[in-house]
Amino acid sequence: MNAIRRVLVGYGSESGNARELAHRLGSYPALTSHTPQVLPFNEIDVHSLSAGDVLLAVSSSFGDGEPPANAERFTEALRQHPALPGLRYAVFGLGDTGYPRFCGFTKGLDALLGEKQARPLLHRVDADAGYEGFFQQWAPVLGAVLNGDTDAGRDLRLQVSAYNAEDAFTAPILERRRLSLSDPAAWHVELDLRGSGMHWRAGDTLHVVPQNDPALLQAIADWYGDPAAIEQLRHRELRQLGKGLLRDLARMSGSETLKNLLKSTQRAALDSYLHGADLLDVLSDHASPDSVPLAALLERLSPCLPRAYSIASSGGDSVALCIREVRYVRNGRERVGTATSGLVQSDAGARVYCRSNPGFHLVTDPATPLLMVGTGTGIAPLMGLVQELAAVGAPREVHLVFGEKHRARDFLYQRQLQEWVQAGTITRLHTAFSRDSADKYYVQHALAEPETGVQELIARGAHVYVCGNKRHLEGSVRDTINALCPLPGAPSDTWSRLRAEGRLHCELY
């Protein structure tokens, strides 16, 4: 590698993440001998770039792939500049896979520098919100390359694939394991992500693009008397019915009953009616094929909505979910979950994509105690977090509270949890099985037990992770913590203080 004249760390940043990462790179030990200059792109003089210079570009993309404001002038000047054959560079891009042009600016910058005959030191990085893991892999390799080991990064490829509902990855199902004896059953499902290019960690979510129940499609086609309805509705949302659609159906059908249900004063009655209902229920109860023609219905139905699940594992080539099977009878018709039925029964695999969820990642300080509370399949992300701790192997204080109905029938992941207790990965495991005694015993009761030590944990700076049903869990845990850890004379409660301090992590559904 030719002698390095200077190292410039250029950044484009809107929210501050890329700026913070650029400054971290500028002070990275392996780069300090090169005394890197850290500057916004717009403060770098393109005309001064020459042989011996190294440009390390760290940037987000603005909107749908545009340069951030502090990179616009630099980008335009680079487009108009002649060739830069002596320049070497590396690009670390931060983006959001939710945008069609994921990392659009940094991909374009990489291509533009290539057009100008600059030479890349490493393959471009395309990172999403979970960029920290990529940075920790990339920075030391970059340092090695700058210090003479030109082959160090030859095989390093850190690029998140921008999957979404329209372009999902078909993941084969590796394993299904029933976790509970009670019905509806809880299942452990493991999917194969090899070859997907997805990067994720414990706390993130897996989105499943579901397939509509063939029996429901056939029933709607029979209601319309039109077999073509099966294919026309196959990829439309038939279960999660928004108020906009319901208002259109009420207007088209003239149903006074449905119009009354949609009044703001009837919210509870509407929620009760829609619980477990699907589109065919609403059509059968309030419309006719003549009042709501199939063509008009198709114009108003959204594409089938992805279902999001907390990931129950911590990394690797496969991803685990903990899901509750949905199966019931309503109005004489058997119903199954739009996504869970395929995950539990089908051998065709599932169309999936990952989304980073930084708000539920592990706090990095190893001295920080962790209090985890999960009920039912809400144990899923907690399993992933503890699995991540077990993989790291460093001791950590972890108190986990798990709630379900019956110990003998519903103790999800019992063996694995008890093994983690024996290994010291979990410091204390507290359980609450609500139906095993005459008096109901829930997680809030377990939290209130002296041996759980909630007051001490909160006082010592514990981070609290809560996952489960929003209606039943959030209020009870909040009220218990507020009662156990009051703030005399304070303008807010402990729960609000934990949230304000970034010590509260909730996944509620």
In this prediction, residue 492 carries a pLDDT of: 80
Peptide bond into 227 cis (omega under 30): no
Mean pLDDT score of the chain = 94
Tell me: do 177 and 253 sit in the same domain.
no
DSSP state of 185: P
DSSP state of 66: B
> Average pLDDT of 91-103?
85
In a domain, 431, yes or no: yes
Do the beta carbons of residue 389 and residue 362 sit within 8 Å?
Answer: yes
Tell me: do 277 and 374 sit in the same domain.
no
Tell me: do 292 and 392 sit in the same domain.
no
In a domain, 154, yes or no: no
> Average pLDDT of 126-148?
92
- Residue entry with tokens 């004379």: 489
**What CATH number should be reported for the domain holding residue 347?**
2.40.30.10
Number of structural domains found in the chain: 4
- Residue entry with tokens 């990489």: 110
Q: Percent of the chain at pLDDT above 70? A: 99
Tell me: do 462 and 448 sit in the same domain.
yes
Q: Within 10 Å of residue 437's Cβ, how many Cβ atoms? A: 8
Q: Is the pLDDT at 98 greater than 70, yes or no? A: no
In a domain, 476, yes or no: yes
Q: Within 10 Å of residue 63's Cβ, how many Cβ atoms? A: 13
Q: Which of 331, 358, 385 is the last residue of a domain?
A: 358
**What CATH number should be reported for the domain holding residue 404?**
3.40.50.80
Tell me: do 387 and 496 sit in the same domain.
yes
Q: What is the pLDDT of residues 304-347, one digit of tens each?
A: 999 999 999 998 899 999 999 999 999 999 999 999 999 999 88
Q: Which of 97, 114, 146 is the last residue of a domain?
A: 146
In this prediction, residue 66 carries a pLDDT of: 86
Q: Is the pLDDT at 114 greater than 80, yes or no? A: yes
Tell me: do 49 and 123 sit in the same domain.
yes
Tell me: do 83 and 135 sit in the same domain.
yes
> Average pLDDT of 440-458?
97
DSSP state of 32: G
In this prediction, residue 462 carries a pLDDT of: 98
- Is the Cα torsion angle 300, 304, 310, 315 positive or negative in sign? negative
Q: What's the angle, vertex CA 419, arms to CA 417 and CA 423, rounded to 5?
A: 120
Query: Of 92-96, 188-192, 461-465, which gets the smallest average pLDDT?
Result: 92-96
Tell me: do 223 and 82 sit in the same domain.
no
> Average pLDDT of 56-85?
92
Tell me: do 135 and 201 sit in the same domain.
no
Structure tokens at 149: 């080991």
In a domain, 204, yes or no: yes
**What CATH number should be reported for the domain holding residue 28?**
3.40.50.360
In angstroms, rounded to a whole number, what is the distance separating the alpha carbons of residues 253 and 33? 75
In angstroms, rounded to a whole number, what is the distance separating the alpha carbons of residues 19 and 9? 10
Structure tokens at 437: 């005694």
In a domain, 241, yes or no: yes
Q: Is the pLDDT at 10 greater than 70, yes or no? A: yes
Do the beta carbons of residue 104 and residue 75 sit within 8 Å?
Answer: no
For residue 1, name the pLDDT band (cuts at 50, 70, 90).
Answer: low
Phi, psi of 298 (to 5 degrees): -60, -35
Q: Is the pLDDT at 14 greater than 90, yes or no? A: no
Query: Of 123-132, 219-228, 363-372, 456-465, which gets the smallest average pLDDT?
Result: 123-132
The four Cα atoms 453, 382, 444, 463 give a dihedral, to 10 degrees, of 50
Tell me: do 124 and 49 sit in the same domain.
yes
Q: What is the pLDDT of residues 156-183, one digit of tens each?
A: 999 987 788 888 999 999 999 999 999 9
In this prediction, residue 18 carries a pLDDT of: 95
In this prediction, residue 207 carries a pLDDT of: 94
Tell me: do 203 and 119 sit in the same domain.
no
Tell me: do 43 and 141 sit in the same domain.
yes
Q: Is the pLDDT at 438 greater than 90, yes or no? A: yes
C-alpha distances (whole Å) from 77 to each of 73, 115, 156, 442 are 6, 14, 30, 63
Range of the domain at 40: 6-146
> Average pLDDT of 408-434?
98
In a domain, 91, yes or no: yes
In this prediction, residue 160 carries a pLDDT of: 85
In this prediction, residue 127 carries a pLDDT of: 93
Q: Which of 250, 275, 300 is the last residue of a domain?
A: 300
In a domain, 45, yes or no: yes
Q: What is the pTM of this model?
A: 0.79
In a domain, 468, yes or no: yes
- Is the Cα torsion angle 240, 245, 247, 252 positive or negative in sign? negative
